[in-house]
Amino acid sequence: MSDSTLADRSASAQETPRRARVSHGTLEPSRGGAASSPDTPEGPISTANTAQGEPASTPVRRPGDRVFRGAAVGSGAFIVVLIAAIGLFLLLQAVPALRANQVGFLTSGVWNTTDPNGLQFGILYLLWVTVATSVLALALAMPVSLGIALFLTHYAPRRLARPFAYVVDLLAAVPSIIFGLWGIKVLGPTLVPVAEWLSRNLGFVPLFAPGNVSIGGAGNVFTAGVVLAVMILPVITAVSREVFERTPKEHIEGALALGATKWEMVRTTVIPFGKAGYVSASMLGLGRALGETVALYLILSGTNAAPKLSFFDGGATIASKIALGSGEFNNELTAGAYIAAGLVLFALTFAVNALARTIVAGRKGSA
């Protein structure tokens, strides 16, 4: 090290110009913007460049960066536009049909769309079957999923937990048309004696009274609900499992150190911690059940009779009705009637999913 550098150093230290400080924003002004608050002495970071009176293009950006960034941001915005477009175009197609409708869309159960000049369509009956199958499926799947999720996260031997979880995930990989085929041809006939027994012994409860189709045909809400329950099991399990896995280790060890049995530990730490996640997982399952189409389209026996609010009713859900009507999509008005029903389904699942996600997000924020 020579003397000159030393001299250099002291010189430069003394001569440090006391001029106005120049501020240099980050590459990503928008990122910083979220973290900063407006009462920063130098002003919010997001406006650091403009605050200095410099042109907005101050951070040098290469053309490649600009193009790629634009494409990325554009794709993100595209998703938002896509959702809006789904709602918008369904609405556009539904309105003419709704105008031509001769009965109340929400208050009638009639569905007669073959004559475009005398459109009569109402979703009342469809709504009942949709809700009944979904709620039955949820009631059956919720406890079982809870059990599976707990089993996979806290009971199964560690080495087997992963392959076991894979087995449950496989259920989600089976196409719904195969579930439908199995449901009506294999499971349904097996369930008929159970259904008959229920109807004989619990028939005084309206839900188990004979419905508007014969019990022997198996094409009723009961069979459909059981098949749907199997289909939404993996959905509810997957999300619940994730939440249960995140139970803080200290809570678990704390409970065990107090002499809790495994079940007491699970009941006092894992379940309270994961409750919100489990509820929202169930909502996601409900959303899936409401929108399920082809399995129910194959299982449910069609009928025009009014439902008797029984588990042994047949008919169609909103989704399966649309699938049944796919052959009629030959004029705007008839198609519009089905699209109007689809719009209701879209709104319904949107609401259920949004609610589920909000619960999860709220949980993440507080955890």
Partner 1 sequence: MAKRIDIKDVNIYYGKFHAVDSVTLSVPPRSVTAFIGPSGCGKSTVLRSLNRMHEVTPGARVEGQVLLDGEDIYAANVDPVEVRRTIGMVFQRPNPFPTMSIRDNVVAGLRLAGVKNRKRLDEVCERSLRGANLWEEVKDRLDKPGGGLSGGQQQRLCIARAIAVQPDVLLMDEPCSALDPISTLAIEDLITELKQDYTIVIVTHNMQQAARVSDQTAFFNLAGVGQPGRLVEVDDTEKIFSNPSQKATEDYISGRFG
Partner 2 sequence: MTTATTDLHRPATGPAFQGIGAGRKIKNAVATTLVALAFLVAVVPLVWVLWSVVQKGLQPILSADWWTHSLYGLRPYDDRGGAYHAIYGTVVQALSTALLSVPVGVMVGVYLVEYGAGTRLARFTTFMVDILTGVPSIVSGLFVYALWISILGFGRSGFAVSLSLLLLMIPVVIRTTEEMLRIVPNELREASYALGVPKWKTIVKIVLPTAMSGIVTGVMLGLARVMGETAPALIVGAYASSINLNVFDGNQANLPLLMNDQFANPETAGFNRTWGAAMSLVLIIMLFNLLATVISRLSAIKK
Residues between 303 and 322 that touch partner 2 (CB under 8 A): 319, 322
CA distance linking residue 274 with residue 56, whole number of Å: 47
Does residue 354 bind partner 2 (CB under 8 A)?
yes
CA distance linking residue 262 with residue 254, whole number of Å: 12
CB 281 within 8 A of CB 240: yes
Report CA 242 to chain centroid distance, whole Å: 15
| 20 or 60: CB nearest partner 2 | 60
Does residue 23 bind partner 1 (CB under 8 A)?
yes
| 44 or 254: CB nearest partner 1 | 44
| 69 or 99: CB nearest partner 2 | 69
| 35 or 79: CB nearest partner 1 | 35
H or E stretch at 63: helix 63-100
- Number of residues engaging partner 2 in binding (CB under 8 A): 98
Structure tokens given for 326: 């796919």
Taking the complex as a whole, the smallest distance from the CB of residue 60 to partner 1 amounts, in Å, to: 4
DSSP state letter for 330: T
Does residue 238 bind partner 2 (CB under 8 A)?
no
Structure tokens given for 51: 């605050």
Neighbouring CB atoms inside 10 A of 328's CB total 14
Site for partner 2 in 112-141 (CB under 8 A): none
- Which conformational region is residue 175 in: left (phi greater than 0), alpha (psi within -120 to 50 degrees), or beta? beta
| 1 or 79: CB nearest partner 2 | 79
Taking the complex as a whole, the smallest distance from the CB of residue 125 to partner 2 amounts, in Å, to: 18
112, β-bridge pairs: 120
Which one of partner 2, partner 1, none interacts with residue 93, CB within 5 to 8 A by kind? partner 2
Which one of partner 2, partner 1, none interacts with residue 164, CB within 5 to 8 A by kind? partner 2
CB 136 within 8 A of CB 229: yes
Does residue 362 bind partner 2 (CB under 8 A)?
no
Structure tokens given for 139: 């009631």
Rounded to 10 degrees, the C-alpha dihedral 57/58/64/66 comes to -40
Does residue 164 bind partner 2 (CB under 8 A)?
yes
Site for partner 2 in 30-89 (CB under 8 A): 30-31, 33-35, 62, 64-65, 67-69, 71-80, 82-83, 85-86, 89
Does residue 271 bind partner 2 (CB under 8 A)?
no
CA distance linking residue 214 with residue 123, whole number of Å: 23
Of 49, 113, 237, 247, which lies in the binding site for partner 2, with binding defined by CB under 8 A? 237
The count of C-alpha atoms lying within 13 angstroms of the C-alpha of 282, restricted to the half-sphere facing its C-beta, is 17
CA distance linking residue 290 with residue 140, whole number of Å: 15
Taking the complex as a whole, the smallest distance from the CB of residue 8 to partner 2 amounts, in Å, to: 27
DSSP state letter for 311: T
Taking the complex as a whole, the smallest distance from the CB of residue 78 to partner 2 amounts, in Å, to: 7
Site for partner 1 in 29-88 (CB under 8 A): 31-32, 34-37, 40, 42, 45, 48, 54, 58-60, 62
DSSP state letter for 116: G
Positions touching partner 1 (CB under 8 A) are 1, 5-6, 8-9, 12-13, 16-17, 21-28, 31-32, 34-37, 40, 42, 45, 48, 54, 58-60, 62
